[in-house]
Structures are given as C-alpha cells and as structure tokens.
C-alpha cells in the first residue's frame, strides 16, 4: 500500500470560510483513518480582512510535526496567498480562483507569483459558488470540491462530512454548502486535466479505533474534569481563554465552581484559597498573566498549598505577540519568582500528553502540596490532532492528599518534617486538625520562625519533597542508540519535541547517527538521565522556540559542556526540516 | 495552708475555657503593642463566635500582611496568613470551594484599600459570602508609621514628614458604591457593639464589609488616638431593616465617627445562591 503524507493549506481572508474549510478537511481525513495535525493562523484583530491560513498535515503514518513545506495551497484570496507561496514545495500544487469577482493584473494574482514548475489549477470558485447557491459564500466548498476531485478522494463521504459540520444549521445553509462542493467537484472532473501525481486511489486505511479530534486546550479541560477538578478561577487571555470558556459549561455539571476574577492575581489567589480548602483547583493563563501570578507562586510553595497553573505561552516579553507561538517562558516557569522556591513544571510534548500532564499535575500538586506549572504554548493549545480516546485516570490519581492519622492529630504538626518531605495535611473542617499557615518562614506547627536553623530545616524539607516527584513522572523519551556513541544528540522540550524526534528519524534515514531526548517534566529535571544521554553523544543540539536558548542554557549547566543551538521566534511551530538541516551542517 | 495543685488549676482553667468564648483563642500571645486596639477586635470576634456557637474547625480566618496579618495566629481556627492585599481573593476561593465553612477575611487599611484595593469592588459585586473586617488605624504600623490610604490630608507621617499630600479614602462610601450588601462600622473601644456587628455580618448571607476604627498607639499620636475616638464615636442609630441607600450614603459622607450598621440588603442573592439560581 502506498503511503500518503501531505500538507495542505487553505489561505483566505477572515470571513471567507477558510478555517471551517480546513476543519471539514481535517475531520474528513480523520474519519478516513489518517493521522492529522492541523492549526490555523489568523489575525489578532477581531474584525477586518486579515489573512487566515488553515494548515493541515495528513498522513498514513504517525505525525510528529505539522510540516513546514506545503504540498497543496488552496487560494481563496490572491493577495494573501502570494505571501504564502514561499512555503509551497518546489513542484507543489496551487489551486486558485480563475475568475475572481474583480479580475486583477498578473502582479496581483497568485498565479503570477507562482514559481515556475508549480502545478496550477484554475477553478472559477466565485462563479461556481454563485451558480450553486446564488451567492459567493460557498467558494470555500467549491475549492474543497475541486481538491477532492483532483486527488480522487471519496466525494460521497466528503459530502457527509460537510453535512455533519453544518448539522445544526438551517437546511438552506446545508444545501448551499453541499451544492457548492458538488459544483466544484463536477466542474473539476469535467474541465481539469490532472498533471500531478497525488492520488488517493487505492489508498485504503484500516478502520481504526474511534478517534478524538481535539486541541490542547480542550484536552486540558477533559483531563482536569477526569482528574476531579472542582474549582477554576481565571481571567481571559489569549491563548488560554478557551480553557475557561469550556470549563464554564462543564465544571458546574461536574459539581465544581468557576470564578472569573478581576485579574490574574485574584485568580491564583482564589485557586490557592480553594486548594487550602482541600479542593482540586487550577487556573490557566499566558505570559502577562503568569507574570502577575508570580506574586502568589511563592506562597503556594511556602505554605505548601496545592495550586496548578496552566501557562499557554505566546510571543513575549510583555504583551508580546498574543496569537503566535513561542517557548520563551521556560525561565519564568522553572526559575522565576523570588527566594529558593522549588516547584514542579511539566511541559506536554504533544497534544496527547496535554491530557497526561494535566492529570499528573493535579495529582502531584495535591500529593506534594506544592505549585505545579504546566507549560503549553499557542501551538499546543490550538493545533488539532486526532488521538486515541484517553484512558481515564485510576482512583489513585483522583485523591492524593495525605491526611493526618488520629495519632498525628494529637498535638498536630502541619509542617512536620518526614522522610519524604510530605507533611500530612488536615483539611479545614477536620476536628483537631486546626493549624496556622503562613507565607512567613515557620516551624513544624506553622508558627513564624526566623531562626537560621529553622529556615534551613524547612527549606531542605521543601526541596526534599522534590526528589520524590521524579519517580512519579514519566521517564524522558530517549530514542534507541545504534552503537555505543551517537554523533548527534538532540535535546528538546515542549511542543518542539515532536519536530526534534521526527528530525532524528529523518536524519537516520539520511545516514546521520542521531538520537533524541525529550522530557515532559522540566522541574525537577531528570538530570541523571540527561547526563547519561549526553555522555553518549559526540555533539548536542538544542532546538527551541525562543531567542536566547533558555532551555539550552539550563541544559548546559547540567551536562557541563557547550551545545549547538537552534532558535526560532518566527511565531510558527518548530519544523523538523529545519532541525534536519542544522544536523547536516553539524 | 493547703497549696493548690497545678493540675487542679489546669483543669479549672480548661473548664472555664470550654464554657467561655476563650475557646476561640489560640494558645499564642498576640505580638501587638500594648494598648493596641486590635485586642478589642479579637475579643469581639471571639465573643461573636461564641454566641453563634461556631465550631472552631469550621472557621477559616484569612489575612494579608501588616499588623492585622497576624490575626489568624491568635484565633483557634484554620488560619491562613497570605500576601499583602490578597486576603480577599484567597478567602473568596476558599468559600466558593467550601461553602460549609465560615470564612473571615481581615485586612488593614493599607492592605485592603492600598495594595489590595482592586479586589474590594469585585468581591462586593459578586456578593461572595465572606465576612470582611477592615482594621482601620489610618497608618502603616508594621513598617513603622507611613501614610496609608485613610491617613488624613496634611497629617505628618514618616513617609510625609511635612504633611500627607493625599486625601483619605472613605471606606464606608466605597463599600456602599461597590454594592456591598452589608456595610457596618465598629469601634475598637466598644467590644459589645463590635461583637453585635461581627455577629450580624457573619449571619448575613453575602459579602459583609465591616470597618473597625482603631488607634495605632505607637505611630499615630495625634489623629486617631484612643482619646479622640472615645470623645467622638457615637451610635448611628440607622435601621438596617429600612435598607435605605440614601441614608447610608449620607451617613457615610457626614458621620465619620458614627458606628453601627449602615446598610444591609437581605434580599440579594449570595454568589453561591446566584449560581444555583442561574444553573437551576
């Protein structure tokens, strides 16, 4: 059976149905049994005629990254699509409107800017949409019809995907969309002579398990609800807002409470209040909100109150670039704040692990009575994957507070120093469990204690807890070595990990002896594993989406040798192609 | 003469404690200056808990930073000494997560109206069912005598040695404007009056705002002294049953030394009740 691995982009203006066309295409492909990874980029402004791009990679194999170069560009808007041509592969395919409402000269048409060698198919999108539905709104569907016809996809099933997408709309709208699709499909069959080689003929994917088509934000919510979240406080901020919006519907159904606060300080404050009350609580934010929350993070650690913060990173610093992806809050999450402040930081390496990280985060926060920061980014929050339906966490993960025994409640020491650093925690309402909690340094009863010995003892206790956390976190993903030593070891974290792992696989096919290391837990960091890995690599490469190499700097301190860096702040996700290119130069 | 055994004394003391309001006092001795008005507030607090027969384990006291921040240490309750200005958000989260608990938030004038001033309007408009006690001594005490948000205009302080250039906030007027559903003022020298107010505030189903006028005996020798307060404080005599915002506002404006309940709206739904109402 032949393999399919295609990157398709639809480019248009806001309001032209670009994003919904991409969504229908992704859902259709998932239904056909392909792996999909898709994301949209759109302007930060609410209104206007900004450029929208729906990017989808579909493959008959496992997908690790969204793909940098595009096989098929579908242009709904010539002006916007011209700049999109730069990522079209050599010999790639361009589908464009051959009879736009206002004809434009060659210098303004996407066709005029296409590289020689590009396979171009002109379809009169506007005209066909008008013919199908009496207006041009269905241009996106006409374009999809053309693509389905061109690549010999299953038109019948595709029609059903369109019907499913608009199922809640009026029949007139469903008909208009389906008819536009068919118009494009039939016209293309009749008038276009195919000159490319992409074809779905004979590609039959095995009927797979039922898939969940979902993005990182949605998965975080699903995980949080599955992991017994009962309180959420938050303040709207791109790209984390959706987490609050979905929870506002779902949390009350699960017996929880959601509070929209006046700012992010109040949000984390309320989360810590709920945590003090013995209830699983979290908040979600992005860079500027995380900066405010930093005020409270020390209290969570000092007073040993569970708190979970999701930080979906965007371009920074300051307000930065709200709608672009970046991995530049590593320092803030892992090292930020004042004092000697151990905290747990998890960074999902792909969409699926957003679920794992959220479940684990809520569990660890409650068990270790500490702060957990989960680093997502704009790409993980918004990119869509089709994944296997996650298995719900077992009971162990749902209630992890270690409560004091009856004997321990006699002369109860809330901050008792124990072998694993965890002091049994009484929940308000427990008779005999009354204690005082403070952000001041304190003794084992919780009473303020400024003595040098006391400060050292309690600081050690807070750090000691951390050494046990690593045992409960997933081990780093390390690819197999072919020999004793590898030429290049690629160390990655967060959403860049997929691209790094894919680049290593591609490099091996190219004869480069490469291996990869990626860890979902960043604090405490699996230092021993990293040192052992680095010792077996001649050269080390650290690709990440920030300018200063925040994680590379961190890794250098652990492995005590220089590393090669690959840094991008383009606002686009990490591309395996770029990492591979860098490896070739090393 | 027969000596009294200490065991006997201990036993008697325990009996007295159990019977009396002192059971709400923790074993820790307050660190406040001798003569501080806060001692009176504590007494009123213990007594109101006693009269309401609250169970200690169901009381949560949340504080910020400042002299008032230490309050939870001296109360036999689940106490949480949080961050400067942030007792309200923490208490809000706690109450929303645990409706079964009686949640009190305390703050000083700098804590509540300066650094934490942004939280007051929102807890008031949300009407979250916590009792908020403002220990208003019109000065920063713990940092030793700087101007606060309620320090009078032109008063000399350690941060404004030639006189405070800022006008003071009027906490009662603010609370009324923010839509607090229970607004009252007490005086640290009047434990009985304070006790009644704290009791009413605790019983009120919604956000209760209670300002306590109290002197800082160490850093304010001229303005809000025991002498000045005792000479000027009087009972407002407003009837909260009337639920009259106009009278309350007028009193807030013109009666800076009047104590009692300014305003109470018993019909307004608390945040919890609103959620139940909306989700029904």
Tens digits of per-residue pLDDT, A513-527? Answer: 999 999 999 999 999
Whether B95 and chain A come into contact, CB under 8 Å, resolves to yes
Nearest to residue A573, comparing CAs of A512, A518, A492? A492
Residues of chain B positioned with their CB less than 8 A from the CB of A259: 92-93, 96
A74-96 pLDDT per residue, tens: 999 999 999 999 999 999 999 99
pLDDT over 70 (residue B268): yes
Beta strands A486-492 and A514-518 are parallel
Nearest CA distance, B140 vs chain A (angstrom): 19
How far is the C-alpha of A486 from the C-alpha of A497, rounded, in Å? 19
Question: Would you call A464 exposed, middle or buried from its count of C-beta atoms within 10 A (0-12, 13-18, 19+)?
Answer: middle
pLDDT at position A102: 77
Return the residue matching tokens 């013109």: B254
Residue B45 lies in a domain: no
pLDDT at site A1: 58
Calculate mean pLDDT across residues A107-134: 94
Q: If pLDDT is split at 50, 70 and 90, which confidence band does B124 have?
A: very high
- List all residues 6 or more positions away from A18 whose beta carbon is below 8 Å from its beta carbon: A10, A11, A12, A40, A52, A53, A54, A76, A140
pLDDT band at B137 (very low <50, low <70, confident <90, very high): very high
How far apart CA A334 and CA B15 sit, in angstroms, is 52
**pLDDT of res. B159:** 97
Within a domain: residue B178?
yes
Sign of the torsion angle spanned by Cα atoms A282, A287, A292, A294: positive
Q: What is the CATH number of domain A5-191?
A: 3.40.920.10
pLDDT of residue B280: 81
In 3D space, the residue among A439, A421, A430 whose CA is nearest the CA of residue A369 turns out to be: A421
Could you give the dihedral angle defined by the CA atoms of residues A244, A250, A254 and A260, in that order, rounded to the nearest 10 degrees? 30
Q: Which residue has the tokens 């000159």?
A: A195
- A190 Cα to chain B: minimum distance (Å): 56
Above pLDDT 70, what percent of chain A?
Answer: 98
**B72 in contact with A at a CB cutoff of 8 Å?**
yes
**What CATH number should be reported for the domain holding residue B175?**
3.40.50.970
A510 near B CB under 8 A = no
User: CB-based contact (8 Å) between A435 and chain B?
Assistant: yes
Task: Return the percent helix, strand and coil in chain A, to nearest 5.
Answer: 40, 20, 40
- Dihedral sign from CA coordinates of A457, A459, A465, A470: negative
Q: How far apart are alpha carbons B47 and B190 in whole angstroms? A: 13
Q: Contacts of residue A429 in chain B, CB cutoff 8 Å?
A: 57-58, 98, 100-101
C-alpha A422/C-alpha A472 separation (Å) is: 14
Spell out which residues of chain A touch residue B55, defining contact as CB-CB under 8 Å.
431
**Cα B128 from Cα B271, distance rounded (Å):** 5
Rounded to the nearest 5°, which phi and psi values hold at A45? -75, 145
Sorted by where each begins, the domain ranges of chain A are: 5-191, 213-397, 406-472, 477-585
Closest alpha carbon within chain B to A229: B97
> Which band of pLDDT confidence, cut at 50, 70 and 90, is reported for residue B6?
low
Architecture of domain A213-397: 3-Layer(aba) Sandwich (3.40)
pLDDT band, residue A128 (cuts 50/70/90): very high
Would an 8 Å CB–CB cutoff place B276 in contact with chain A?
no
d(CA A83, CA A73): 11
**3-class secondary structure, A92:** strand
A299 closest CB neighbour out of B28, B83, B279 = B83
- pLDDT > 80? residue A403: yes
Q: What is the pTM of this model?
A: 0.95
Alpha helices in B206-279 (DSSP H): 226-232, 245-254, 271-279
- Per-chain mean pLDDT for chain A: 95
Q: Is the pLDDT of residue B2 over 90?
A: no
Q: Taking a C-beta distance cutoff of 8 angstroms, is the pair A369, A422 a contact?
A: yes
Instruction: Residue A248: list chain B partners with CB under 8 A.
Output: none
- What are A337-376's pLDDT values in tens digits? 999 999 999 999 999 999 999 999 999 999 999 999 999 9
B196 within 8 A of B240, measured Cβ to Cβ: no
| For chain B, the helix, strand and coil percentages under 3-state DSSP, each to the nearest 5 | 40, 15, 40
What's the number of domains chain B is made of? 1
- What's the pLDDT score for residue A404? 98
Cβ-defined contact of B97 to A262 (cutoff 8 Å): no
Q: Residue A430: its chain B contacts at CB < 8 A?
A: 57
Instruction: Decide: A181 and A141 in contact? Cβ < 8 Å.
Output: yes
Instruction: State mean pLDDT over A191-215.
Output: 89
Residue B132 lies in a domain: yes
pLDDT of residue A2: 76
Residue of B nearest to A272 (CA): B90
Tokens of B215: 């002197």
Residue A262 near chain B (CB below 8 Å): yes
Chain B residue with minimal CA distance to A305? Answer: B80
Asked if the model's pLDDT at residue B167 lies above 70, the reply is yes
Chain A residue numbers with beta carbons less than 8 Å from the beta carbon of B118 are: 262-263, 266
Q: Which of B71, B72, B77, B78 to mutate to test the interface with A (most CBs of A within 10 A)?
A: B78
CATH number, span A477-585: 3.40.50.920
CA distance B239 to chain A (A): 33
HSE of B37, CA atoms in CB hemisphere, 13 A: 30
CB proximity B58 to A under 8 Å: yes
Domain housing B157: 60-279
Query: According to DSSP H, which parts of chain B are helical?
Result: 6-19, 38-52, 87-97, 109, 120-126, 171-178, 191-203, 226-232, 245-254, 271-279
Interchain proximity B82–A271, CB inside 8 Å? no
Confidence of residue B9 (pLDDT cuts 50, 70, 90): low
Residues of B in contact with A448 (CB under 8 A): 73
B118 lies in some domain: yes
Chain A residues closer than 8 Å to B62 by CB: 273
pLDDT in tens, A31-45: 999 999 999 887 655
Q: Do A213-397 and A477-585 agree at the fold level?
A: yes
Contact (Cβ atoms closer than 8 angstroms) between residue A370 and residue A343:
yes
Least confident of A9-13, A17-21, A97-101: A97-101
For A521-547, the three-class secondary structure string (H helix, E strand, C coil) is EEECCCHHHHHHHHHCEEEEEEEECCC
What are the backbone dihedrals phi and psi of residue A226, each rounded to the nearest 5 degrees, phi first?
Answer: -65, -25
For residue A271, the chain B residues in CB contact (below 8 A) are 93
Q: Measured between alpha carbons, how far is residue A209 from residues A31, A234, A392 in Å?
A: 10, 35, 17
Structure tokens at B75: 């109360």
Q: Is A440 near chain B, with CB under 8 Å?
A: yes
Interface membership of A260 toward B (CB under 8 Å):
no
Has the ipTM of the complex gone over 0.85?
A: yes
Q: Please report the pLDDT score of residue A357 as a whole number.
A: 98
Is B19 inside any structural domain? no
Choose between A410 and B10: higher pLDDT: A410
């Amino acid at each position: 059976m032949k393999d399919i691995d295609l990157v398709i982009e639809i480019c248009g203006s806001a309001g032209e149905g670009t994003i919904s066309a991409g969504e229908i295409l992704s859902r259709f492909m998932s239904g056909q049994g392909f792996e999909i990874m898709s994301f949209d980029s759109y302007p930060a402004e609410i209104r206007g005629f900004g450029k929208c791009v729906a990017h989808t990679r579909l493959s008959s194999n496992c997908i690790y990254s969204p793909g940098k170069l595009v096989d098929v560009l579908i242009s709904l808007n010539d002006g916007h699509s011209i700049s999109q041509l730069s990522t079209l592969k050599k010999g790639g395919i361009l589908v464009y409107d051959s009879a736009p409402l206002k004809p434009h000269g060659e210098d303004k048409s996407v066709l005029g800017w296409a590289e020689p060698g590009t396979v171009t198919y002109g379809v009169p999108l506007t005209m066909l949409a008008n013919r199908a539905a009496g207006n041009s709104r269905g241009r996106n569907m006409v374009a999809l019809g053309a693509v389905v016809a061109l690549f010999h996809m299953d038109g019948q099933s595709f029609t059903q995907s369109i019907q499913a997408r608009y199922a809640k709309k009026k029949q007139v709208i469903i008909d208009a969309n389906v008819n536009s699709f068919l118009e494009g499909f039939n016209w293309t069959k009749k008038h276009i002579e195919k000159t490319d080689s992409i074809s779905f003929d004979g590609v039959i994917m095995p009927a797979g398990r039922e898939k969940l088509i979902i993005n990182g934000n949605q998965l975080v919510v699903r995980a949080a609800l599955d992991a017994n979240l009962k309180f959420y406080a938050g303040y709207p901020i791109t790209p984390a807002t959706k987490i609050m919006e979905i929870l506002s519907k779902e949390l009350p159904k699960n017996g929880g409470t959601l509070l929209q606060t006046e700012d992010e300080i109040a949000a984390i404050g309320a989360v810590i209040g709920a945590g003090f009350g013995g209830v699983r609580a979290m908040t979600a934010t992005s860079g500027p909100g995380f900066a405010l929350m930093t005020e409270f993070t020390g209290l969570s650690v000092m007073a040993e109150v569970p708190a979970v913060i999701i930080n979906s990173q965007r371009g920074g610093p300051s307000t930065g670039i709200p709608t672009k992806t970046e991995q530049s809050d590593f320092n803030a999450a892992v090292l930020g704040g004042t004092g000697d402040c151990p905290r747990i930081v998890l960074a999902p390496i792909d969409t699926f692990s957003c679920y794992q990280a959220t479940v684990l985060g809520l569990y660890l926060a409650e068990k270790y009575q500490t702060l957990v920061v989960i680093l997502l980014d704009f790409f993980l929050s918004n990119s869509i994957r089709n994944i296997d339906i996650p298995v719900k966490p077992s009971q162990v993960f749902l209630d992890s507070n270690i409560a004091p025994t009856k004997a321990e409640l006699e002369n109860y020491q809330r901050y008792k120093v124990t072998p694993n650093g965890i002091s049994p925690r009484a929940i308000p309402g427990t008779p005999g469990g009354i204690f005082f909690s403070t952000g001041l340094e304190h003794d084992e009863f919780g009473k303020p204690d400024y003595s040098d010995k006391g400060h050292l003892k309690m600081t050690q206790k807070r750090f000691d807890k951390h050494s046990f956390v690593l045992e409960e976190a997933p081990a780093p993903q390390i690819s197999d070595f072919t020999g004793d030593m590898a030429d290049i070891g690629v160390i990655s974290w967060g959403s860049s990990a997929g691209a790094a792992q894919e680049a290593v696989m591609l490099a091996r096919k190219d004869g480069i002896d490469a291996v990869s290391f990626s860890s979902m837990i960043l604090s405490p960091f699996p230092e021993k594993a990293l040192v052992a890995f680095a010792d077996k690599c001649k050269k080390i490469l650290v690709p990440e989406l920030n300018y200063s190499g925040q994680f590379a700097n961190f890794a250098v301190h652990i492995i005590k040798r220089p590393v090669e860096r690959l840094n991008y702040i383009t606002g686009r996700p990490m591309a395996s192609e770029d990492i591979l290119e860098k490896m070739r130069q090393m | 003469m027969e000596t009294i055994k200490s065991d006997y004394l201990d036993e008697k003391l325990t009996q007295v404690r159990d019977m009396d309001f002192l059971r709400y006092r923790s074993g820790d001795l307050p660190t406040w200056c001798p003569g501080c008005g806060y001692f009176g507030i504590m007494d009123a607090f213990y007594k109101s808990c006693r009269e309401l027969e609250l169970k200690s384990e169901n009381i949560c006291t949340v504080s910020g930073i400042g002299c008032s921040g230490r309050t939870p240490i001296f109360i036999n309750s689940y106490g949480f000494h949080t961050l400067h200005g942030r007792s309200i958000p923490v208490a809000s989260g706690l109450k929303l997560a645990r409706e079964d608990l009686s949640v009190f938030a305390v703050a000083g004038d700098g804590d509540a109206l300066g650094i934490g001033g942004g939280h007051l309007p929102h807890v008031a408009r949300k009407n979250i069912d916590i009792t908020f006690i403002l220990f208003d001594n019109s000065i920063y005490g713990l940092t030793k005598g700087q101007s606060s948000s309620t320090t009078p205009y032109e008063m000399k302080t350690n941060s404004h040695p030639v006189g405070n250039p800022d006008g003071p906030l009027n906490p009662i007027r603010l609370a009324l404007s923010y839509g607090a559903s229970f607004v009252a003022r007490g005086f640290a020298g009047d434990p009985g009056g304070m006790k009644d107010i704290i009791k009413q505030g605790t019983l009120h189903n919604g956000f209760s705002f209670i300002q306590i006028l109290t002197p800082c005996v160490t850093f304010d020798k001229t303005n809000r002294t025991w002498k000045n307060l005792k000479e000027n404080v009087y009972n407002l005599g407003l009837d909260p049953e009337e639920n009259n915002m106009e009278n309350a506002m007028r009193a807030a404006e013109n009666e800076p030394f009047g104590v009692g309940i300014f305003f109470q709206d018993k019909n307004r739904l608390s945040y919890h009740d609103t959620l139940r109402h909306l989700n029904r």
